[in-house]
Structure formats: C-alpha cells, structure tokens
Structure 1
Amino acid sequence: MQMRRAPSDITELYAPQFEQFGIELKDRGTVITGEVASDQAHGRAWVVPLSPTCLVMEHFITPARDMRLLERTPEPYACVSEVSVPTLTCMPDAGITPTNLMPLRGSWPSNAVCSFIQDNCGEELSPLFAGQLYHSRSVLFLPGFFEELEGRYPTEFTGLFEAFAEPWCDEAVSAIYHALRRVSEERARSAGGHVFMRGVVDTMVAELACSHAACGRALRAAGTRASAGLAGEAAAAVERALDAGQRVGIDELAASLYTSRSRLCAVFKAETGESLGAYMRRRRMERAQDLLADSSLSIAQIAELLGFSQQAAFAQAFKAANGCSATVWRGRHR
C-alpha cells in the first residue's frame, strides 16, 4: 500500500500546468480560481479540493499561439472527465489513453466523457494549438482515495482504481456522465457547495463500485445456465418490445426479469460481449432498416412504431448509427 500523501501534494496535479498559461490561482473559500487574458492565452480555471486525495476541476483555455505544455505527473491518478475534442486529441502526447468515450450533446456538442489512469509518471510535452478551446471538467483521484475506502469497507472497493482504465458497463458510464454534469463552479460557490460536490463524487464512486463488483461476479458466472438464461431472456424481451412498438428501458427490463439493473447489465455483457444498452440501440436501428427496406410505412410511422416520441429524434438517431438519413438509406435499399 502506498503512503498517504500530504494534502498540499494534490496541487501538483494542476498548479504547474496552469502556471505555464500565466494563470495565478487564488483561494476564494471553497473554490480556487484563476484567469488569464494575455498574448499567451485566454481562459479561466476553477478547482475544488474535496480531500487530500480527490479534487474537482474545470478549465477553459484557448492558447493565443502554438505551444508545448509541460505535463508533470508526480504519482498515478485516476480521472473521469468531460473534454473538448482538442483536449482529447492531445491526451496521447501526455501518455493518456482515454477509455469509455461517450459523445455528448448540449452546450458543448463536440465534448465527450471518458475515464483514464495517468500512470506515466514524470514529464511529457503536449502540443497545443492557437485558437483551439482546451476544455476539461474532471474529477481526479489519487490512489490513497480508494485505499482509505478499502480500509473502511474491506473488499467493496477492491480494484476500483485500476478499473478507470477499463471499459465500464452502461450504468457506470451513465453515473460518470450525470456526476460531471452536476458539478459546476456556481454550485460549488453556493451554500453547502463543498458538501454537495463531495456528495456527488461519493455517489458516483459508490455506483462505480457496485457496477465493477457486478461485472466481476458476472464474469465468474459466465457460461453457466443461469447466466446464459438471463441474457437470453433479456434479448427476447427486447425483441418482444420491438414487435409491440414499445420502447423498453433497462430499469423496466430488469424489473420484469426480477433482477437488479447492475446484475442484468453485467451478465448480458459477460455473455454476449456487447453491453445491453448497445444491443438495444443496435436492434432498434436494425428493425428500422428492415421497415425502411421492406414496408410502405412512412418514416414518421416507423419512428412511432419504434417508440420514438418525435420523428426528429428518430432521424437524429438513425443518421448517427448509419451515417446517412433514413430517406437516403431507404432510397439505396429498395
């Protein structure tokens, strides 16, 4: 077990990098903030240290000229992060391999959520380019965060630090997404901000631990009659819902099969190699393809039959999955 690090050491994960942009961080109660507007860069950053081994951080930085950022990593850390495309692009140069990439929609349409472990300790140079927005909203964990949890709750958090570099199940990715979307500088500055931020992070970690444990149990049980049977029943239920023109959710599906969401997702992935969410999305789009090619139903009717509340939502999902509109696809396959 590694030695517990001093509280000030966690600043080494961000302060040296921000200093290179000319950002001077100042303690303003719960939140540490800094801004820059110079011939080198424009932007701002905020940080909330939640403990000696965990922090929440966000930055919006646009270099005014091409530069090479010196990345210093004093010890390994795990991270979940919402990042812009330029930030994602420069990660390999910093020795980071992101996993569980999930594109986002909303105010930052080019962002994605990911997780990773930075264990390439030392110094790396990352090229940054003028005029590009390097945005990241992240939760960072030193190994000691999970060592403390494991000491208090033996076996419940075993291997969780290492799991940040591995594929998560759908519900774990969802927990990461919702946690990152709930933390904000405005909320951190409000009454109870530190307690709120810690609660969001603790809830996410608990969900990740639950998902990780369920995946471990599912892998150990893979190939058994009960495990294969549950995966088969889930797939059959999805097909029945498609036949009936219903859109079934994972929670509803788990309840109908008298099991938990985490167990169902873990078992399905262990048995099929595909996440349950991905299977449901794929079969829905395959059914849409069949209807477009072999029926006279309008696109609006197909969208309704497949449980889409609006034709626009169906159009967006179909194009994302197939690379072309439903109209174009129908023209090519009829």
Structure 2
Amino acid sequence: MRYTETLTDLETLYLPQVEQFGIELAPCGEALVGQVDSDAARASMCVYRLGKDCVVEAHRILVRRDLPLYERGVDSLCISSLSADSLALCPVAPVEKVVGAPRCLAVFGQRSGETTTWLRAGSRHDSSSVVFLPSRLNRLDAHERRAARALVEEPGLVCADGCASSVGSSIDAVMPLFGGRLARGRTLDAQVDRALLGVLAWREECERAERAAGTHERALVVRGVKNYVTLHLSEPLTLDVLAHDLLTSRTRLCATFQCATGQSVGSFVRSARIARSKELLAVRSLGVAEVAHAVGYPRTSSFTVAFEREEGLSPSAWRAARP
C-alpha cells in the first residue's frame, strides 16, 4: 500500500481502509468525503481531521464478496456507534444481545500494531466514530484525564441504552451519512467534546454503582478475561497467561470468573473459540485449516473434534449446511 511508510498517526486511523476500498476522498467544507461502488463493496465515507490529534469518521459499507481488512492501530481512545456486523470486529467483550437497534456504542482503547480481519459477503458495516490521540486527552482537566486514561487501559465496553443514544446522536449530528449535517469549527469541537464527556460521565456512574454493590473488582476481572480471550484467540490461552496479564493469581482469577458468570474460564475460552470459528467458516474463501489456526488450534483434527463436540457437526458439514 502506498501509504504504509508515510502515514502520520492521524492518517493511520483512516487512510489504509480508504485505499483498500478504493475510495477517493475529496474536500467538502471541512470534511473529506468519498464513495465507491465496486465488485468488492459499495462504500461511502466522511472524515474530519481535528488538528493533529483527533479524527471523526463515518462509513457505510455493504460488502459484496469476502475480503480481508488490514488495519494499523495507534495508541488512542475510540468511541464508535456501530452496526452489529462492525461490533463483532471490535476489541470489546462479546455481548449476548446488541442493545439499541440498529447500532450500539463501543468504547475501547486501541494499541499500535497491525491486524487483519475478514469481512463477510453480505455484511453491513455502518459506523460513526471519534478517535482521540493521547495529546487530545491531555487537554482535559485532571479528573477527566484520569477517567479517559482508565478507559484506554481497561477492557473495552459496550455502553447502555441511554448513553449509546445520546453519544451516538452527538457524533451522527455532524455526519451526512446518518442524517446529520456537515459541521465546522466550534460546532464540530462541541459535538466531539459532548460525546467524550458523555461517555466519561456514563463510565463514572457505572463504576460508582459497581463499587456501591461491591462488584467493581469482580467486574474488572470478568471484562479483562473476556476481552483478552477475544483479542488473543489464535494464541495459547493458559490460566498462567491470563493471570499474569490481569495482574492476579490463578486461584482468584478462576474463583472470581466462576462466581460472576457461572462458567469456568476454560469453558469460556472453548465457547469463544467455537463462536469465532463459526464467523470465519461463513467466509467461504477460508479453508478449515486456516480457521482452525485462527482460533488457536494448531492441528485441524483437534479443531474438528472440539467443533463436533459443541455443534454436533464437523466444521465442513456445518459450513455446507449454511445457505
């Protein structure tokens, strides 16, 4: 990709995806807008760059054929209003049910590095996001800055109804793709600040309620386990690795997770691997061996046994049974 060696941190947040889809961005007021209609996808995009440390970006993508999405992350805080298909690709703990149709709000810290995910033919990826680099967060007052840094360091979250609606509306208000209007200057900064402060207030209220109920530390462990497992399914996931990453002991980790969820850590890892494998098996250009490796099974035979135990069918038979 022609941008790979020349991207600034700010450009890294959107230009690689722009190039992959073949979108030509052009100035429109203070935004960059563009669209493409190809055999791979129909996509529209709108981007604002706020100085050197904040991006507001929205896209609507209908994927027409299975394709890999290559991303380069930078250390940042991301607030995203997402469709269900996009939420499944985010670094947040899996949720049982997507709250607030047609999109919900995810808040998570990004890390520097490269990732590859697969977009499934027929999937729809609608998203409006604000991404803050650390220098932008440093403008906050001391209390707000600590809260923002905690969001970056802690496992990603899916916000509840009220916050999702309010913050999502603040972002959408400046995005024509979702019924808003192009904004400039102070209006844009005000909407970005409103979104960030709304999330910080929501998280503070949640933490206060957890502490009052005596469940805050337990909730952190559970979120930590779920997020770590979700982000590292292709790697060996032992109790020692998890305990080390979450700064706790194996005994406390197992007891806390079992008490909070009614499920052992090992059982959660197995179910998470099978759930992800089903998503990847839906990408028919991926072989079963590739899927097995992607979810942490070095041997295809071991993956097949685990999959049959959970689903009653082999991976190949399960894939063939899908329309």
TM-score range, shorter chain: 0.5 to 0.7
Aligned to 2:146: 158
Aligned to 1:90: 89
Provide the C-alpha distance between the structure 1 equivalents of 2:207 and 2:64, rounded to a whole number of angstroms: 47
Provide the C-alpha distance between the structure 2 equivalents of 1:196 and 1:148, rounded to a whole number of angstroms: 18
Give the C-alpha shift of residue 212 in structure 1: 4.5
Give the 3 Å change call, closer, same or farther, for CA 131–210 of structure 1 in structure 2. closer
Aligned to 2:71: 71
Aligned to 1:115: 107
Aligned to 1:233: none
SS of residue matched to 2:146: coil
Alignment of 1:55 onto 2:27:
no
State the superposition RMSD in angstroms.
3.1
Q: Deviations over 1:43-62 (max 9, x none)?
A: 11011122321121111122
Give the C-alpha shift of residue 139 in structure 1: 1.2
Provide the C-alpha distance between the structure 2 equivalents of 1:133 and 1:196, rounded to a whole number of angstroms: 29
Provide the C-alpha distance between the structure 1 equivalents of 2:92 and 2:35, rounded to a whole number of angstroms: 28
Give the 3 Å change call, closer, same or farther, for CA 8–187 of structure 1 in structure 2. farther
Contact 1:187 1:193 in 2 (8 A): no
Contact 1:8 1:52 in 2 (8 A): no
Q: Deviations over 1:38-86 (max 9, x none)?
A: 222211101112232112111112233211111111x222112121222
Residues 206-221 of structure 1 mapped to structure 2, 5 A cutoff: 206-213=197-204
What amino acid maps onto 1:195 in structure 2? R
Aligned to 1:103: 99
SS of residue matched to 1:27: strand
What amino acid maps onto 1:10 in structure 2? L
After TM superposition, the score normalised by the length of structure 2 is 0.54
What amino acid maps onto 1:35 in structure 2? Q
Structure 2 counterpart of 1:205, from 186, 196, 200: 196
Give the 3 Å change call, closer, same or farther, for CA 160–65 of structure 1 in structure 2. same
Provide the C-alpha distance between the structure 1 equivalents of 2:129 and 2:29, rounded to a whole number of angstroms: 20
Give the C-alpha shift of residue 180 in structure 1: 3.3
Provide the C-alpha distance between the structure 2 equivalents of 1:65 and 1:219, rounded to a whole number of angstroms: 44
What amino acid maps onto 2:14 in structure 1? Y
After TM superposition, the score normalised by the length of structure 1 is 0.52
Provide the C-alpha distance between the structure 1 equivalents of 2:92 and 2:15, rounded to a whole number of angstroms: 22
What amino acid maps onto 1:203 in structure 2? R
Give the C-alpha shift of residue 112 in structure 1: 2.2
Give the 3 Å change call, closer, same or farther, for CA 32–9 of structure 1 in structure 2. same
Provide the C-alpha distance between the structure 2 equivalents of 1:112 and 1:72, rounded to a whole number of angstroms: 23
Provide the C-alpha distance between the structure 2 equivalents of 1:222 and 1:131, rounded to a whole number of angstroms: 43
Provide the C-alpha distance between the structure 2 equivalents of 1:123 and 1:172, rounded to a whole number of angstroms: 30
- Runs of 4+ in structure 1 off by over 3 angstroms are 98-102, 164-175, 207-223
Contact 1:98 1:116 in 2 (8 A): no
| Higher radius of gyration, 1 or 2 | 1
Name the stretch that deviates more: 165-174 or 24-33. Answer: 165-174
Alignment of 1:126 onto 2:122:
no
Give the 3 Å change call, closer, same or farther, for CA 169–162 of structure 1 in structure 2. farther
Alignment of 1:19 onto 2:19:
yes
Contact 1:53 1:143 in 2 (8 A): yes
Gaps of 5+ in 1: 1-6, 224-272, 274-334
Provide the C-alpha distance between the structure 1 equivalents of 2:207 and 2:122, rounded to a whole number of angstroms: 44
SS of residue matched to 2:117: strand
Aligned to 2:174: 183
Contact 1:24 1:35 in 2 (8 A): yes
Provide the C-alpha distance between the structure 1 equivalents of 2:167 and 2:94, rounded to a whole number of angstroms: 12
Contact 1:117 1:162 in 2 (8 A): no
